Amino acid sequence: MLEEIPDDIKKDLKEACALHQRAASDYEKCMKFNKLMSDLLARLEDAGCFRTADKVMGILLDCNPKEGAHCDKATMVGEKMKKL
């Protein structure tokens, strides 16, 4: 059974995908991406979209922004974002 993800969450998920493509070497964008995904996780859980929320949680587990360093998991997170 497919989950019915609310349109506003779909819009923000697309924004997060686009943001991640630009965030790998920019700490501030990386932090913005991380915060957006955290907010989306809560909203997905509130909407009862638990499978999608689990995928977002998996992305957040790999997303660990570090100031002054290139993201060593950018490619892996990027692939998960594409699947999302």
Find the length of the chain. 84
Q: Could you report the per-residue pLDDT of 33-63, keeping only the tens digit for each? A: 889 999 999 999 999 999 999 999 999 998 8
Range 60-82 average pLDDT: 76
Question: Which position has the higher pLDDT, 24 or 32?
Answer: 32
What is the C-alpha to C-alpha distance for residues 75 and 58, in angstroms, rounded to an integer? 14
pLDDT at 31 over 70: yes
